[in-house]
Amino acid sequence: MDLILCHTTADFDTLGAAVGLTCLLPGSKIVLSGGAHPPVRDFLALHRDEYPLIERRSVNAEKIRSLTVVDAQQRDRLGKPAEWLDLPQVKTITVYDHHMGQDSDIPATQFHIAPVGATTTLIVEELQQQQINLNPSQATVMALGIHVDTGSLTYDQSTPRDAMALAWLMEQGASLSVISSYRDPGLSPQLQKLLTEALEKLEYLCLRGYTIAWVTLQTEGYVPGLSSLASQLIELTEIDALLLANEHPLNKDDVRLTVIGRSQIPGLHLDKLFQSFGGGGHSQAASLNLRGVDSQDILQQLLKGVKAGIPHPPTARDLMSSPVRTIRPETTIAEAQRILLRYGHSGLSVVDSQGELIGVISRRDLDIALHHGFNHAPVKGYMTTNVKTIAPDTTLPQIESLMVTYDIGRLPVLENEQLVGIVTRTDVLRELHQGEGGEAEGQRGKGENIVKFSSLEQLRDRLNPQLWQLLTTASQAAEKRGWHLYLVGGAVRDLLLAEAAANSLMITDIDLVVDGFHKSADVGAGVELAKALQEIYPAARLEIHGAFQTAALLWHKDPELDSLWVDIATARTEFYPYPAANPEVEASSIRQDLYRRDFTVNALALRLTPPRAGDLLDFFGGLLDLKAKQIRVLHANSFIEDPTRIYRGVRFAVRFGFTLEPRTEEYIRYAINSGVYDRTAQTNTKTPALQTRLKAELKHILEAPYWRSALQLLDNLGALQCIHPTLSLDDELKRQLRLLESYLRRFDPQQNLIHWQMRLEAIIAHLSPQYRGKVAKNLQLQEDSIKHLQNLAKAKSEIEESLPNYQRPSQIVQLLRKYNLEILILIALQSQRKIRRQIWHYLTVWANVQPILNGNDLKKLGYSPGPQYKQMLEDLLAATLDGHMKNQLEAQEFLAKHYPR
């Protein structure tokens, strides 16, 4: 058996090379050592039968004669099949690869390694030499391999050999439509979610005119297609180099780290950098996989290597022409034209008698003046006076940015106010043949609507001392990094409401926002600050949340901070792609961060860092609304974008005894009556604000002591329709919820059941049977809850039909014990009084009755242990329930009669 081994997570180059080798080695089989990139997996779902693929588990190792490894030179890239390399009967091991400069640990008898863009190219060349033709399916997958690994011949490692190989594959019938479909297949839903998270978490650094970004994503398991995600990030953000790290647990004690590197910086060689950590790749694309390492330490070492490897970009001093041909403002148009023609310039700098630059005149300006007959007019009337200039140390990327932004063909270079050179478009284009430039770092201003709230000393007096120390430590850490730090949202609201309180306030849920826009647009600032704080507070657990790059520090029953939750985020703005979706976010200013919030009373921020520590930011009248005791939404479309805000508004109103501001209530009713939620649910499979986020709000409401009032207000607004269009809080549902509380108090005083969830199940159970399971799944309840609700109608029907026909308690017990406490309670809520009484009696009396004898007693009586024990005990229990026996003697007589030894 001749086998061709692909590396784990096979890409198209690996697969294409392997398919080509099956033509060179008739009868050979391809073994995919592990998984495959998502587009490869999708491709094989349709085309698998066209290629000689076999699974590893179907290989009889004793029959292996030769092994050929494609697109890899290390054993650990082959997964489990690497064990076959050591089989004594395998005499021939061949390696085909295009990654140069790697140390191989494969005991190969032949190596075929060459500096081409794709391993498939090497196979194509051998096929051509042996004059072996391909069928279209073989040619297509091989062409895909070259297209993907060379970026359709656009990557630096692409060679003329790759181009010629592609041309031959096209002659062999490679399908361009199939290649187009799989070359850029887009991102899977999982990768799309990670893309949103990565965009928010990206940390940036501008160095030598280039922008470097890095991000770490934590996932629950292996994620295929991270290389596609990295490419998408590069494209969307226009960064020059990226380090994308992914951590996922292998077991409770071990974590796997994958790092994908991408670069568009000329002279930066990622392959060499990654090889030093056991990885590999190309100068522009590389990767590594490690386990049992400090992920952040590895990432920082890679980042250090990237920074060290970035070449110093050319500066204006390197590019400029000098000395500069200048003219005086009195020079005539005709003379200026003559100078241009003589020296071949496209423009001239105009200086005064002191040699200082006062303007620039271009060939186009001169041509227009000449066309209108102004040959003898001075150039000062036609020159451009608002001149953009640069310094000698201005870098090439900055020069390019200025030229593109302002459509300038030449930039004078000034040093000490004197003209020392000029850089033209030609200079830039000539240099850009060696690579693309980065972009300069920008800054964004802030709004100034700041209301002085109180001194930090007054704030300190109202806070628990340990909490005050935490905020002080956080603000110092932020200040050290050049950031501003704000206490925002509910914590500020609660502090203002508790302003007159005599005792110190211990807030258990705190939101902090880092505003780094005055320093840099660093979307990962919040996470960085959280990690710094965890080093100071090691008792806290650090969590990185969701797609929005927020970090949380959690303390659980801490002796000083008790159970505290601190969320830390970077100031950001957001955009909802469609109603009820998750928002798309990007780093922004504190003002934009507050504007994206739900209600004015939650859009308050207290600055913790100097120089204006203690200032309150209230851009939207939150203080006035607190005084008026009203909940007011920030903008008209707020509820259309996010229906969970309706539930939050109701929760805040009931919790604080506030009212909904009239216009806000109008917005709520309009959003509900518009039918927008039904339409968006029909056209979008993912509507988190009607699913997971709605469930979270229902949890907050239904576990609060004011849940009845909140439900009533939601019903008054018609907002229960967000759960289902037919749902309303009618008298029957109110009765059932009151009855539910009696059952929970009586049968679950220790709260082993999740009471808020039971209330939600009772609400959903009030719907028609055909809607219950769908609503439960939509809200993503636990699987047990979904089953309860799906099976409720059937169980209720069985009980209601059977119970009236049962006279003996044993029959009732046998029927009801098939159902757990949750479903029996739900059935009781909806049943007639007679049925409820029997269920109540079962739960309070019959369910607690035990057989008079147990298994040990049966053994002492001489019965041999076995399956019959179960039936004997069942019969004893039934007889006990039905009153046929009252003591052990009667039980023994019962056994002697029905189970003689």
pLDDT along the chain (901 residues), means of 10: 89 94 93 81 84 89 92 88 91 91 87 92 95 92 92 85 95 88 74 88 86 92 82 84 91 86 86 85 84 90 90 76 80 90 75 88 89 91 89 87 83 86 77 42 32 58 85 92 89 78 68 68 75 92 74 89 89 61 62 82 90 78 90 87 90 95 93 81 71 89 95 95 92 95 91 92 95 91 91 92 88 90 93 91 89 85 84 88 87 85 75
Angle between helices 692-702 and 707-717 (to 10 degrees): 130
Please return the burial class of 738, using the count of CB atoms within 10 Å of its CB with bins 0-12, 13-18 and 19+.
exposed
pLDDT at 807: 84
pTM of the entire predicted model: 0.49
**Alpha-carbon separation of residue 732 from 94, 724, 758, 839 (angstroms):** 76, 17, 17, 20
Whole-angstrom distance, CA of residue 891 vs CA of residue 503: 66
Q: Which of 272, 279, 19, 255 is nearest to 137 (CA)?
A: 19
> 358: buried, middle or exposed (CB in 10 Å: 19+, 13-18, 0-12)?
middle
Contact residues for 724 (Cβ-Cβ < 8 A; gap 6+): 764, 767, 771, 775
Nearest to 222 by CA among 246, 243, 244: 246
So what's the pLDDT on residue 228?
Answer: 80
**Two tokens, residue 531:** 């990690």
**Helical residues (DSSP H) of 61-188, grouped into ranges:** 119-129, 136-150, 160-171, 176-183
User: For residues 337 and 379, what is the distance between their CA atoms, to the nearest angstrom?
Assistant: 10
Report how far residue 659's alpha carbon sits from residue 649's, in angstroms, rounded to the nearest whole number: 9
Q: Are 419 and 389 in contact (CB under 8 A)?
A: no
- What are the phi and psi torsion angles at 508 (to 5°)? -100, -5
How far, CA to CA in Å, does 331 sit from each of 352, 361, 381, 387, 582?
11, 11, 11, 19, 63
Q: Is the peptide bond before 851 cis (omega within 30 degrees of 0)?
A: no
Q: H or E element: which one contains 665?
A: helix 662-673
Contacts of 692 (CB under 8 A, 6+ apart): 779, 780
Q: Using alpha carbons only, give the angle 274, 160, 19 rounded to the nearest 5 degrees.
A: 70
Nearest to 278 by CA among 262, 301, 255: 301
- CA distance linking residue 210 with residue 311, whole number of Å: 10
Q: Please provide residue 250's backbone torsions phi and psi, each rounded to the nearest 5 degrees.
A: -90, -35
CA 726/CA 764 separation, integer angstroms: 11
Tell me how far apart the alpha carbons of residues 648 and 292 are, in angstroms, rounded to a whole number. Answer: 43
| 524 SS3 class | coil
Q: 3-state class of 360 per DSSP?
A: strand
Whole-number pLDDT of residue 113: 92
Given a contact cutoff of 8 angstroms between Cβ atoms, the answer to whether 432 and 403 are in contact is: no
Contact 264, 241 (CB under 8 A): yes
Distance between CA atoms of 140 and 150, rounded to whole angstroms? Answer: 15
Which residue in 730, 743, 745, 784 sits closest to 761, CA to CA?
784
- Cα torsion angle, 402, 405, 411, 414, sign: negative
Pairing of strands 285-291, 280-281: antiparallel
Q: What pLDDT is stored for residue 566 in this prediction?
A: 92
pLDDT at 517: 44
Tokens encoding 403: 């030229």
The 3-class secondary structure across 199-250, one letter per residue, is HHHCEEEEECCEEEEEEEEECCCCCCCHHHHHHHHHHHHCCCEEEEEEEEEE
If you search the block for the tokens 């280039």, which residue do you land on?
210
> What is the distance in angstroms between the CA of the first residue and the CA of the last residue of the chain?
65
Q: Which residues partner with 413 through β-bridges?
A: 390, 421
Q: Which sign does the torsion angle of CA 81, 86, 91, 94 carry?
A: positive
- CA 632 to CA 848: how far, in whole Å? 53
Contact 15, 37 (CB under 8 A): no
What confidence score (pLDDT) does residue 253 get?
Answer: 79
Residues whose CB is less than 8 angstroms from the CB of residue 41 and which lie 6 or more positions away in sequence, other chains included: 35, 224
By DSSP bridging, strand 203-207 and strand 210-218 are: antiparallel
**Tokens 């198209």 -> residue:** 12
What local confidence, expressed as pLDDT, does residue 585 receive?
A: 62
- State the Rg of the chain over Cα: 37
Phi-psi label, residue 578: left if phi above 0, alpha if psi -120 to 50, beta otherwise: beta
